């Protein structure tokens, strides 16, 4: 039985997503990946509306059986507030469509994909490429991160 998993890497400027399908063959393949970008020149409320609307569209398009999201990681206070606001919109949209996401910390994602919780970004991207049998590392980085979150949910099922 096929299972569709949507991985989300929340951000205000860029929200990364990766949609995969996993079948009985114990192999995952890519449905799609990409980003939702919000222009920096817009007011924050307008940027959040873009995230809200585009995430609804993504959920309608891919009809995931499971949604996985990266937990908020505090590294720069100025950026953390904006990411938290974007993440709040993501959680609102998921609640509106009746989806309870699974959440993973950055270290859990790195551990699941590379076997090492402190792996660098390139090692994670290489693991995504290998696991999904892709010809090249997905770009932009936020989209690759969305795929990494989706794969983590698949591995941790």
- Residues annotated catalytic, as ranges: 9, 70, 142
Q: Does domain 3-155 have CATH number 3.30.1540.10?
A: no
Task: Name the residue ranges covered by the structural domains of the chain.
Answer: 3-155
Buried b (16+ CB within 10 A) or exposed e, 79-88: eeebbebbbe
Tell me how far CA of residue 123 lies from CA of 52, 113, 119, 120, in angstroms. Answer: 31, 9, 6, 5
Tens digits of residue pLDDT in 72-112: 766 556 678 888 899 999 999 999 999 999 999 999 999 99
* Preceding amide of 65 cis, omega within 30: no
Arithmetic mean of pLDDT, 124-149: 96
Is the Cα torsion angle 12, 18, 19, 25 positive or negative in sign? negative
């Amino acid at each position: 039985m096929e299972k569709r998993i949507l991985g989300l890497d929340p951000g205000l400027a860029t929200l990364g997503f990766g949609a995969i399908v996993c079948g009985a063959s114990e192999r995952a393949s890519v449905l799609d990946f990409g980003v939702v970008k919000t222009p920096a020149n817009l007011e924050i409320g307008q940027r959040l509306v873009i995230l809200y609307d585009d995430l609804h569209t993504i959920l309608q398009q891919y009809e995931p059986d499971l949604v996985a999201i990266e937990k908020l990681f505090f590294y720069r206070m100025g950026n953390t507030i904006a990411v938290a606001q974007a993440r709040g919109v993501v959680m609102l949209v998921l609640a509106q469509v009746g989806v309870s996401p699974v959440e993973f910390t950055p270290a859990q994602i790195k551990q699941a994909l590379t076997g090492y919780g402190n792996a660098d970004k390139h090692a994670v991207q290489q693991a995504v490429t290998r696991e999904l049998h892709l010809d090249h590392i997905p770009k932009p980085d936020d989209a690759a991160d969305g795929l990494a979150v989706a794969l983590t949910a698949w591995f941790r099922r």
